[in-house]
């Protein structure tokens, strides 16, 4: 009988790089990403996926962040200011790892001269039986208005936060909820499903990455009972 993974056993793989201008360090980068230690096709596919993500991050740092860091270095040199040394990082956070699902998000933090550091988050949820990411709509009954349900959940939370004075979003955030929604921006948790928006998508930098949660309820009903619902 073929054995199916119900969870992954993970270790971290890490890497660091440093770039210089005139032999002076101007940019450094560090990453930490998951590396499954299980054997088999599924674990191997997920392992390769995050290896590629790590390489892509380092290429991004060299191709896009390094020129900006070099420009800031030269400006500081001309103005006799302290020489800058920028730092970028990429990490991961496992949010659910059982019942045949491996869910997490990776998040990078990169320098943005003259502005707060830019946070970029990516959500991944893997079906450990098939070895592929699970589309968000798979967790809802076929034909249901699942997008509207998520937008309503986010809208209720935004109204609560603004009424309590703990957050402030852009004017017209109701329209932005729909226009800037990305169905890939989600991950599972013990309490259900969390979905998020990119930094600046709904509010200023102070709001970071807005995250909204949908409790278990009917979650997983779209999978025809093949998976167990996360424990409440």
Residue 223 confidence (pLDDT) above 50: no
CATH 3.30.565.40 in the chain: give the residue spans: 1-134
pTM of the entire predicted model: 0.90
**pLDDT tens per residue across span 91-149:** 999 999 999 999 999 999 999 988 999 999 999 999 999 999 999 999 999 999 999 99
Distance of CA 121 to the CA centre of its chain: 3
Residue with tokens 């991961």: 92
| pLDDT value at residue 4 | 75
Question: Does domain 136-232 match CATH 1.20.120?
Answer: no
Rounded to the nearest 5 percent, the helix, strand and coil shares of the chain are 30, 30, 35
Count CB atoms within 10 A of the CB of residue 41: 8
**pLDDT tens per residue across span 188-208:** 999 999 999 999 999 999 999
Residue 230 confidence (pLDDT) above 70: no
| pLDDT value at residue 3 | 60
When the pLDDT of each residue in the chain is averaged and rounded to a whole number, the result is 92
- Residue 75 or 218, more confident: 75
Give the pair of three-digit tokens for residue 124: 């991944």
**Sign of the C-alpha dihedral computed for residues 149, 189, 56 and 63 taken in this order:** positive
| pLDDT value at residue 217 | 62
Residue 153 confidence (pLDDT) above 80: yes
| pLDDT value at residue 5 | 84
**pLDDT tens per residue across span 25-79:** 999 999 999 999 999 999 999 999 999 999 999 999 999 999 999 999 999 999 9
CATH of domain 1-134: 3.30.565.40
| pLDDT value at residue 35 | 98
What band does 219 get if pLDDT is binned at 50, 70 and 90? low
CATH 3.90.640 in the chain: give the residue spans: 136-232
Weakest-pLDDT range from 1-5, 88-92, 101-105: 1-5
**pLDDT tens per residue across span 159-168:** 999 999 999 9
| pLDDT value at residue 232 | 36
Residue 220 confidence (pLDDT) above 80: no
| pLDDT value at residue 1 | 40
User: Coil, strand, or helix at residue 151?
Assistant: helix
Please state, in angstroms and as integers, the Cα–Cα distance from residue 128 to each residue in 77, 80, 187, 198, following that order.
52, 56, 15, 27
């Amino acid at each position: 009988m073929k054995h199916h993974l119900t969870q992954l056993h993970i270790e971290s793989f890490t890497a660091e790089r440093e770039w210089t201008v005139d032999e002076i360090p101007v940019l450094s980068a560090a990453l930490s990403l998951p590396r499954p230690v299980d054997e088999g096709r599924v674990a191997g596919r997920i392992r390769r996926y995050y290896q590629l993500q790590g390489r892509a991050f380092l290429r991004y740092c060299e191709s896009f962040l390094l020129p900006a860091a070099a420009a800031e270095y030269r400006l500081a040199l001309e103005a006799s200011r302290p020489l800058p040394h920028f730092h970028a990082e990429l990490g991961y956070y496992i949010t659910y790892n059982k019942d045949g699902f491996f869910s997490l998000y990776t998040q990078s933090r990169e320098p943005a001269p003259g502005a707060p550091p830019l946070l970029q988050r990516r959500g991944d949820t893997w079906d450990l039986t098939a070895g592929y990411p699970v589309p968000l709509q798979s967790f809802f009954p076929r034909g249901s208005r699942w997008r509207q349900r998520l937008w309503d959940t986010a809208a209720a939370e935004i109204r609560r936060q603004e009424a309590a004075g703990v957050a402030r979003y852009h004017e017209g955030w109701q329209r932005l909820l729909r226009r800037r929604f990305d169905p890939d921006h989600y991950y599972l948790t013990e309490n259900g499903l969390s979905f998020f928006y990119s930094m600046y998508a709904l509010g200023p930098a102070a709001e970071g990455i807005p995250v909204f949660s949908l409790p278990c309820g009917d979650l997983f009903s779209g999978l025809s009972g093949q998976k167990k619902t996360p424990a409440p």
